[in-house]
Structure 1
């Protein structure tokens, strides 16, 4: 039996586990036969018959209908095309998370608005492609990402020390920030070393500004990559996806 959890498997998540966003305060009313048939036909067409519809009923929200399957209940519009998956609005016909697409645009950051003067700048080859990354010294994925980026050519990388995972990250970031060569010190720390020679009386205003930037743009996870076109990539991004996004952002 097909389960709606399989419907959006292309995203690798359980987006198709439709849940209610409000609890009905009255008994659901039957749907007119014509509308019932329209919704059923839409679901049939947009899911290629993989969802078995047991019944369709109205909800307190005009134009939103409850669809009961043998195992679940999900909510959909009157055309049978748009459904709700948690907080996400899904276009089932094109298999697109419309909420994610909108959110991606909202979360873009103008690259030149980043405090680039406070970043560790690394240029390889022509440096034509550019990216910024917010890293925590205790972030395992950040360390993997560093090794990956080291293999790239023709790229300019701006690394921001972003000690947010826990209190133990702050002194490590301060050691790197207050070292004679921040880039060398940061790379050593990301490799699990603890470099010596950091000044005790150095000005950490720039480090504070980086943290404020993260707060301003709701950067909460590491690594968070900002591409030249302002798009952000959070966490572990598959290499092939990352390279495509990097190239697209540099055109």
Structure 2
């Protein structure tokens, strides 16, 4: 009677036979000479997944194609086997180091970098400046006076101007469509260029009505810049190097970011 171990070995060999029989004689070891996948073909195979195929490369591990995809503006990697019937999401990891060996390593890293804007094109002349107007470090804050998160964050900005005397905080009033009353509040703050009115706006106090068409143009210019550069929520920060950060931070964290720590 065959032992259990012998039966398992026999079963394993039997399972492998079809693959061995299909292997081509004189294989060079270069799997790409026989197995290919184009971007259009991958796009067709993955059309039901709702992703955009950006690039296809051989995976570091034989038997797979590595596909760089994008969905809702976010990058990701898919692994497809040579039969083109199975897909795995994720990154191939090499043992024993447990380090990523993705063929798309650089492309993925570039795609995951925070977006940047050209700070020289920000309409800073329409800003209300907190902190040191002549500070060597400039922080741009796109904010809405009727946004509860902006209201909380404004208190952190007031702390920041005390602990970071070399920072010019450019408050870019960016009223959101969901807050219809915020537009006129933003206008009057810009008209008067008043930090006092800015504080009152965030405190929910009543403000005077705007009276100049120039303030309407100023706010619309900020909104136009924001929309053109992917800024669609508040608060949104633009750091001195142009990096965009969504959401507020505490004053100490902001100070460290601006100092490059």
Instruction: State the TM-score bracket (shorter-chain normalisation).
Output: 0.5 to 0.7
Residues 225 and 233 in structure 1, CA contact (< 8 A), matched pair in contact too = yes
For the structure 1 residues 193 and 124, does the alpha-carbon distance in structure 2 shift closer, same or farther, using more than 3 Å as the test? same
Q: Where in structure 2 are the equivalents of 1:218-233 lying within 5 Å?
A: 218-233=230-245
SS of 1:133's partner is strand
Task: Please report the TM-score for the alignment, with normalisation by the length of structure 1.
Answer: 0.58
2:188 equivalent in structure 1: 175
Question: Structure 1, residues 223-250: CA drift from partner, whole Å, max 9, x if none?
Answer: 111111111111144666534322229x
For the structure 1 residues 240 and 59, does the alpha-carbon distance in structure 2 shift closer, same or farther, using more than 3 Å as the test? farther
Q: Which of 130, 138, 142 lines up with 1:122 in the alignment?
A: 130
Shift of 1:59: 5.8
SS of 2:259's partner is helix
SS of 1:150's partner is helix
Q: Where in structure 2 are the equivalents of 1:140-179 lying within 5 Å?
A: 140-152=148-160, 153-154=164-165, 155-166=167-178, 167-178=180-191
Question: Structure 1, residues 179-232: CA drift from partner, whole Å, max 9, x if none?
Answer: x34332122101111123x44344221111111111121210111111111111
2:222 equivalent in structure 1: 210
For the structure 1 residues 174 and 126, does the alpha-carbon distance in structure 2 shift closer, same or farther, using more than 3 Å as the test? closer
Q: Which of 46, 56, 62 lines up with 1:35 in the alignment?
A: 62
Consecutive unaligned residues of structure 1, counting only runs of 5 or more, are 1-19, 25-33, 40-55, 67-73, 83-90
SS of 1:157's partner is strand
Residues 139 and 165 in structure 1, CA contact (< 8 A), matched pair in contact too = no
Residues 130 and 169 in structure 2, CA contact (< 8 A), matched pair in contact too = yes
Residues 136 and 165 in structure 1, CA contact (< 8 A), matched pair in contact too = no
Greater Cα shift, 230-239 or 154-163:
230-239
Q: Which of 106, 110, 116 lines up with 2:118 in the alignment?
A: 110
Structure index of larger Rg: 2
Residues 237 and 246 in structure 2, CA contact (< 8 A), matched pair in contact too = yes
Structure 2 residue 205 is the aligned partner of structure 1 residue 193: yes
Task: Please report the TM-score for the alignment, with normalisation by the length of structure 2.
Answer: 0.56
For the structure 1 residues 240 and 177, does the alpha-carbon distance in structure 2 shift closer, same or farther, using more than 3 Å as the test? closer
Name the structure with the higher helix share: 2
In 2: Cα distance, 1:110 partner to 1:233 partner: 14
Question: What count of residue pairs does the alignment treat as equivalent?
Answer: 180
Shift of 1:141: 1.6
